[in-house]
Amino acid sequence: MSMSKSKKVIVIGAGWAGLGATSHLAEQGYDVTLLEAAPYPGGLVAGWKTPGGKSVEGGIHGFWYPYRNIFSKVKQLNLDPFTRFTRSSQYSPAGLEVESPIFQDEPRLPSPLGTFVYTNFKRLPLSDRLSALPLLYSVIDFDNSDEAWQRYDKMTARELFKQYGVSERLYKESFEPMLLVGLFAPGEQCSAAAALGMLYYFILAHQPDFDVVWCRGTVGEKIFKPWIEEIEKAGGRVLTNKRVSDIAIDDAGKAIGVKCGDEFFAADAIISSVSITGMKKIVESSSTLNNYAQFRNLANLKGIDVLATRLWFDRKINIPLPSNACFGFDTTTGWTFFDLNDLHDEYHDEPNTVIEADFYHANQLLSMSDEQIIEKVHRDLTTCISGFGAAKVTDSSVIRVKEGVTHFFPGSYQNLLSAKTDIPNLYMSGDWIVTRHGSWSQEKAYVTGLEAANLIIKEFGMGSSANILAIEADEPHIQVARTINKTVRDWTQFLPNYW
């Protein structure tokens, strides 16, 4: 038995972060076990079958152009799970508001000009769009450093846009809809730091960054299932229905294993890859983690409610573009809808239309009955595309996920965890973990899983570190602007600061 094989690692949570960490450590010969509380790996992106055999999932998730590491891993697994790059639309109760092209197909312009020039706004006047120009200073000033997060995190995104002169109409019809489907909350409930980081990564850094592909079925079937098979071939174990209730710590302050009710899994190192909500539940039931302020402080964090619906109609409806975002239907809720006949292999030959409609910051909707929810979704779809009006719903699925996605609210940064914790062999990963990589969402989760695996490899001095692809470098004019801005900030640090 090799020295690395004798080192036991427990990974908690089988999403992008947990699978990433488990996969790499198994490839390096570690004795690694992945524990998942649910009956299936993957969390919201996993997908499962209804009793009638139809596929559903807790929301459709896109894979954006800058997801370099995920695309690299999928290629390494010899999988072909993705659609072509697709165009998208944006609707309000007034009708079609925006159509986006495939940006990589357009002549390349210096960032962020391409985003503004090639996006087809149907109603928004040019004068309102131009009011975003002063905001570019904050985009340059926010460089994802700890200092930048400290500067902007306690401000709301709404305050940020107002402070930099963004028109009320541009905010309501462009920026807030992006926040509602990107950070899953209205601007007054989003950290300005998170808003700047998300907008820059997905939209402003490079012209093609907003281009997106979709999984041609559930992520669980198309990606996670074959990935887990590879993990098991490498010697790793993936165990479902294993809800972690505590982490055991010895007298020296090192983790020695995890408890799942009456079961105990010994470990030389542990990686947590669960959501904020999942980690809070572990802390609440733990007799050890409550001794550490950084874990007690997680009680200050929270998630955002998600409502995922799938509707089968009695006829084919003409849907201009496969992916669509919507705003203005409910004051604090953003939602998206997708033409699954176009995106999913399972429904390509379906004679009737199948739609996925997902709602974020949906707390006020969760208490509605399934019938009320489906009626509302049908009504809202009809407002966007009139062809839904005459159609009848023949089958449906409603999935409610309480606190299902991370809420980056103002002031939350001070309580987020880094990969290293006060327990020296307990590491953290997930889309809510602090990292300087610069990615977001699923890509960030996967990257932090690899970063946690690399910390274990460094700790034991065995195996090769995972190669983590950096995000694409800033364009030259942004680099120059950030260098000048940093120089000015360095010069002014000696001036009195009354805050």
The model's pLDDT over 141-150, given as tens digits with 9 standing for 90+, comes to 999 999 999 9
414 burial level (CB within 10 Å; 0-12, 13-18, 19+)? exposed
What pLDDT does residue 59 have? 84
Average pLDDT of span 188-211: 96
Find all residues with CB under 8 Å of 477, minimum gap 6, and list them: 110, 111
Enter the DSSP assignment of 235. Answer: T
Of residues 45 and 312, which shows the higher confidence score? 312
What pLDDT does residue 58 have? 83
Q: Is the pLDDT of residue 498 over 60?
A: no
Global pTM? 0.95
What pLDDT does residue 179 have? 95
The model's pLDDT over 403-449, given as tens digits with 9 standing for 90+, comes to 999 999 999 999 999 999 999 999 999 999 999 999 999 999 999 99
List phi, psi (to 5°) of 177. -60, -35
What pLDDT does residue 45 have? 67
Q: Is the pLDDT of residue 48 over 70?
A: no
Residue that has been written with the tokens 């805050």 in this structure = 499
What pLDDT does residue 490 have? 81
What pLDDT does residue 95 have? 95
The model's pLDDT over 278-306, given as tens digits with 9 standing for 90+, comes to 999 999 999 999 999 999 999 999 999 99
What pLDDT does residue 1 have? 39
Q: Is the pLDDT of residue 308 over 70?
A: yes
Where residue 4 falls among pLDDT bands split at 50, 70, 90?
Answer: very low
494 burial level (CB within 10 Å; 0-12, 13-18, 19+)? exposed
Question: What tokens appear for 469 in the block?
Answer: 């692809």
List phi, psi (to 5°) of 101. -85, 180
Where residue 57 falls among pLDDT bands split at 50, 70, 90?
Answer: confident
What is the SS3 assignment for 399? strand
What pLDDT does residue 187 have? 96
| pLDDT averaged over every residue in the chain | 94
The model's pLDDT over 262-279, given as tens digits with 9 standing for 90+, comes to 999 999 999 999 999 999
